[in-house]
Amino acid sequence: MVALEAEIQKPKPQVRHIDEAPMAKGPPFIGNVREMMTDPARFFYNSYCEHGPVFRFKLMGRTNYVIAGADAAKLIDRRGEKNVLRSREFWEGQTEEFGAKYSLVRDDGEVHERLRAILKRSISRDVIAGRYAQAVGILNSVFERDWRPGTTIPVTLRMQRLVSEVIGLIVAGAAPGDYAADIRTFIKYMLMTKVVQQAPDIILNLPFYKEAKRRSFEFAHQLIEDYKKTRRPPTNDDRADFIGEVLEAHEKYPDLVPASDLPQLVLSPYVAGLDTVANVLGSALYALLKNPDIMARMRAEIDAVPALDEAALRNMPVTQGVMMETLRLYPINVAGARSADIDFEFEGYRIPQGTRLFCATTVTHFMPEYYPEPEKFDIDRYQPPRREHMKPFAFSPFARGPHTCLGQGLAEILIMLTLAQLVRKVDVRLDPLDYEMKISAVPTPGPADDFMVHVERYRN
């Protein structure tokens, strides 16, 4: 009885408005632009350590709100009626820029579920089944063209070229060739202005951007026309064919997939997969060059298999550990961009409907409570009995919840296969040898453009 009375009398913790959350330190007006453009993952982690799971930061005069850590990951993971977040506000601009009616990343609820179901099969890991030899052939021809012994090359740019060809051929059935540079420019500035809002909209009126956008749309229409001319529609027995499935959905459900939405859908593997996979590959290569013991273990694992195929990749704990550790330490999507769909409370703060939030789910990646010696590139932490990533909400490189990455399975295969074939075929060293990688998040976090390697020789 006494205890109950004590409980009743205990003052309830005060719920404050999110506008009262602590503000990260930074210069006036520009705020934390530098941190957000260099290393947003470490910025969110450091701010979490200093301020706790709810904080604010300024960016070009605008206040941004962050919820961070395992509970933020738990919140964004909610589905259906329990979901209190929506994507619309952050992704509206991208949808408008594409001139589309609907969008997988922007929409929630029924429209989102239906669009996801359409794309699911054709960008699953199954699209590469039976085509490993073809993919290795593409990789080898790109290495022989772009990674020539005796040359020093910019890693990020070369990885982007490599990935655009592999994704193009495996998912969309055609490599973008000269269009790859236009697609990269179009995506980069569209994301910087319309989604992360790091740059002013005026960029969208500049001739270089308009031309890149025009050529990206031209490529999308060309893919569709080529498909109609040369390929037959998929049958039930066929491998899922991305362009074929998009066109079939357009015919079957013209309200959900109108003609206006085809360019956005056709380009979606590039928008979602190009920078992401390329940046992970760049960071993984850097980590391997900084950790020669791990590089030696990976080489031994790869050299022990006759061919890189599905069965071989499934049984490569070292290569898999390199990928997982890269996704943990160099996350691509540091925080999910969402808005409050209703008023709700989080960690003592009231978050009104419509508030734009960064849900910093990858803060746990740097917490010693989850990953002892978090800054150490330790590929064995994923193996039993440690399995550190299995703690609830510890590992979220592909986000969580209804918008979790649709290309995760395919991305994992592309990363492991490309990295393994690179390590198998090409010997490179850092140039200069003591280079320390800087991260550039303009807009997708990854190695800065000054990350160069010298190609020494082909191994076989």
3-state SS, residue 97: helix
Residue 357 interacting with ligand HEM (CB under 6 A)? no
List the structure tokens of 369: 């409570």
Residue of minimal CB distance from ligand HEM? 407
Residue 9 gets which letter from DSSP?
A: H
List the structure tokens of 103: 């969008």
Residue 191 interacting with ligand HEM (CB under 6 A)? no
Size of the site for ligand HEM (CB under 6 A): 26
Integer Cα distance of 326 and 277 in angstroms: 11
Q: Which of 98, 371, 382, 398: binder of ligand HEM (CB under 6 A)?
A: 398
Are 284 and 322 in contact by the 8 Å Cβ rule? The answer is yes
* Binding positions for ligand HEM, 170-189, rule CB under 6 A: 171
Element at 57 (helix H, strand E): strand 54-59
Residue 194 interacting with ligand HEM (CB under 6 A)? no
Residue 447 interacting with ligand HEM (CB under 6 A)? no
Are 98 and 263 in contact by the 8 Å Cβ rule? The answer is yes
Closest approach, Cβ 360 to ligand HEM, in A, equals 12
Beta carbon nearer to ligand HEM, 243 or 277: 277
Beta carbon nearer to ligand HEM, 262 or 332: 332
* Binding positions for ligand HEM, 111-170, rule CB under 6 A: 116, 119, 123
Beta carbon nearer to ligand HEM, 94 or 209: 94
Q: Which of 336, 443, 446, 447: binder of ligand HEM (CB under 6 A)?
A: 336
For 68, 77, 79, the CA distances from 403, given in Å and listed in that order, are 18, 9, 10
Integer Cα distance of 158 and 142 in angstroms: 9
First and final CA of the chain: distance in angstroms? Answer: 79
Beta carbon nearer to ligand HEM, 116 or 350: 116
Are 389 and 302 in contact by the 8 Å Cβ rule? The answer is no
Beta carbon nearer to ligand HEM, 127 or 455: 127
Binding mask 210-249 for ligand HEM (x = CB under 6 A): ----------------------------------------
Only one of the segments 7-15, 273-281, 308-316, 445-453 lies at the binding site for ligand HEM (rule: CB under 6 A); that segment is 273-281
Element at 92 (helix H, strand E): helix 88-97
- In 102-154, which residue ranges form alpha helices assigned H by DSSP? 109-120, 132-146
Beta carbon nearer to ligand HEM, 78 or 350: 78
Residue 379 gets which letter from DSSP?
A: G
- CA 327, 329, 333, 337 dihedral sign is positive
Residue 41 interacting with ligand HEM (CB under 6 A)? no
- What is the contact surface with ligand HEM in residues (CB under 6 A)? 104-105, 116, 119, 123, 171, 268-269, 272-273, 276-277, 280, 332-333, 336-337, 397-399, 403, 405-407, 410-411
